[in-house]
Amino acid sequence: MAKKQAKVEKVEKTEKDERRGAQVYYRKWRPQSLAEVVGQEHVTQTLLNALKMGRVAHAYLFCGPRGTGKTSTGRILAKAVNCLESGEGEPCNACILCQATTEGNAIDTMEIDAASNRGIDEIRELRERIRFAPSIARNKVYIIDEVHMLTEPAANALLKTLEEPPPHVLFVLATTEPHKVPLTILSRCQRFDFRRIPQAAMVSRLAHICESEGINIEDSSLKLIARSATGSMRDAENLLEQLVAYYGYQIDLPQVQAMMGITGDVRALELAKHVVDMDIAAGLQTINSVTQDGLDLKQFNRELVEYLRGLLLLKAGAAAAIDLPEETLSEMRSTAERAPMAQLSKAARLFREVELQFDGFSPLPLELAFVECAMSEGKPITPAIPATPQKIEKTDKKPAPPVQSTRTEQEPTITPALTEEKPVKATKPQKAAEEPATTPEPTEEKQTTPGKLGETDIEHFRNRWREVVDATRGMGSAGNLDALLRSACEPLSVENDTLILGFYYDFHKEKIEDPKYRHMVEAKVSEVFGQPYKIRCVLTERKAKTRGHLVEAALEMGAKIIDEEDE
């Protein structure tokens, strides 16, 4: 009889293990005791001491990023206060109450998702059930996840119960956004802030899981998984399971990089070198080759920012904070030595602000950021092929007969290069050739340096400014970027490669100065005018419009202008 009972228990245990083995990793390897919770020692040690001393609070609020163990800690606390064997401290995980809580079958431990049960009716029902004593356990435990999602009436209905619950009730509230939880609820709970899990602790936990599951994987791959998870243990376990599902139990570093979309391309480091060397042509060619190879530009930009951050840290003497292979670090040291700190800081900031989602798969935002940070201060780009100035074409036609004019013979006869008009020839060419040249030279110097335009050339920008405004239509978070520019500003001047925009109101100026909008405007200005430009925003007064004599007469008689149409 004893053998038969042992056989039945063995069969039940085997079936239970099989069911557990079919679970996803983040559920299968959920911590079952406070000691197994990774990277939250400041929380688990406090709770453990409270359990040992019998001073468990009636309500806890667990705050922190996703996947850091908030709900799992709530379940462990529920097991600990109801454990039949331990009574204090860690749960035994062997008694029927601990096992029921682990499997989610405990009658007296209830998990409520506030995102889907957020109304006042659900909270009123909860208050009614709280009055009744526990069915089996010593305490009723209510774990309310995403408590910030409760409606205001529901939160108010919960207040009185939270403040003075029955002695057999314990509340565990969890949220990823504590700033949205009403202060009246916060003041009635003991608050614990869960931190992002450190990479070292996450790698150690992943290594334990891989050893138990029979997965062969390198430490460098585990570090990459931990870095991509950004402090969330659940995300790291999900990534590991995806890798196992795709590649099996033998996983190499290139496979991890391919699964996560990490290029691992040496051209990211090459581009960082081109920034330091201010090599415009080589840098643009590198970006072009990356685009043509079909790499993910967003991921490529992230890796570039990581390299620029590494150069910045190396320059500052903080190499210990860089998590890169030694051979890569040695290559970066020589680059960091010849780069000024200000240049590295500017480059990291500019590429960090690049928003590729606004321009699809176009490399233009990357190119603009590269050109801007590769230029030396106050020195414009000198292109490989300078722009050819407009020349006066020779003609075989006979000169037109002299026309009497009031102009003096010394007056300049050549118009600026950007105008459409044809130059007017002098009426006495022979005499003009004998006299000293008093006419200014053609604006060849201004044209050989793109962007360094003369003051008179601002009319070129003003004439085509409407094209820039129309090009921004539908852009911005609300799709109204063109509305922030139309009739709200005007081009004032050009300084080197910077277009100065004068805004009539501070509201529009502050909006466009936001890096998100400023980069979009710079991209469209560069598209319309065919070369990279930065913009600078200043406040200016709206120029008074010329009004007709009827309007002026009406104003003198006391009339008021309520609206003016744009020209």
| Six token digits for residue 30 | 């959920």
Helix, strand, coil shares of the chain, percent, nearest 5, are: 50, 10, 40
Q: Which fold has domain 22-193?
A: Rossmann fold (3.40.50)
Phi/psi at 194 (5° precision):
-85, 135
Domain ranges of the chain: 22-193, 199-260, 267-374, 455-539
Determine the pLDDT at residue 4: 44
Determine the pLDDT at residue 565: 55
Query: What does DSSP say about strands 169-175 and 190-193: parallel, antiparallel, or unpaired?
Result: unpaired
The CATH superfamily assigned to 455-539 is DnaA, N-terminal domain (3.30.300.180)
Determine the pLDDT at residue 59: 92
Beta-bridge partner residues of 491:
501
Torsion from C-alpha of 401, 404, 408, 409, nearest 10 degrees: 20
Q: Which fold has domain 267-374?
A: Zinc Finger, Delta Prime; domain 3 (1.20.272)
Helix 341-352 / helix 267-277 crossing angle, nearest 10 deg: 130
Q: What is the largest CA-CA distance in the chain?
A: 132
Contact present, 500 and 494 (Cβ < 8 Å): yes
Q: Which CATH architecture has domain 199-260?
A: Orthogonal Bundle (1.10)
| Six token digits for residue 103 | 């499997």
| Six token digits for residue 567 | 């020209």
Determine the pLDDT at residue 292: 84
Q: Where are the alpha helices (DSSP H) in 361-475?
A: 364-374, 429-434, 444-448, 458-471
Determine the pLDDT at residue 375: 72
Determine the pLDDT at residue 369: 87
Per-residue pLDDT of the chain (567 residues; tens, 9 = 90+): 444 444 444 444 444 444 445 688 888 899 999 999 998 999 999 999 999 888 899 999 999 998 899 999 999 999 999 888 876 788 988 889 999 998 888 888 988 888 887 788 888 888 888 888 888 888 899 999 989 988 888 888 888 888 888 888 999 999 999 999 889 899 889 999 999 998 889 999 999 999 999 999 988 889 888 888 888 899 999 999 999 998 899 988 888 877 776 666 678 888 888 888 888 888 898 888 888 877 778 888 888 888 888 888 888 888 777 777 677 787 888 888 888 888 888 888 888 888 766 555 678 888 888 888 877 544 444 444 444 444 444 444 444 444 444 443 444 444 444 434 444 444 444 444 444 444 444 444 333 334 444 444 788 888 888 888 888 887 876 677 877 787 788 898 888 888 899 888 887 888 888 887 888 888 888 888 888 888 989 988 776 555 555 655 666 666 666 655 544
Determine the pLDDT at residue 210: 93
Asked if the domains 22-193 and 267-374 are classified in one and the same CATH topology, the answer is no
Helix 233-247 / helix 199-213 crossing angle, nearest 10 deg: 40
Q: In what order do the strands lie in the sheet with 190-193?
A: 109-113, 140-145, 169-175, 59-63, 190-193
| Six token digits for residue 302 | 């992230």
CA distance 201 to 17: 27
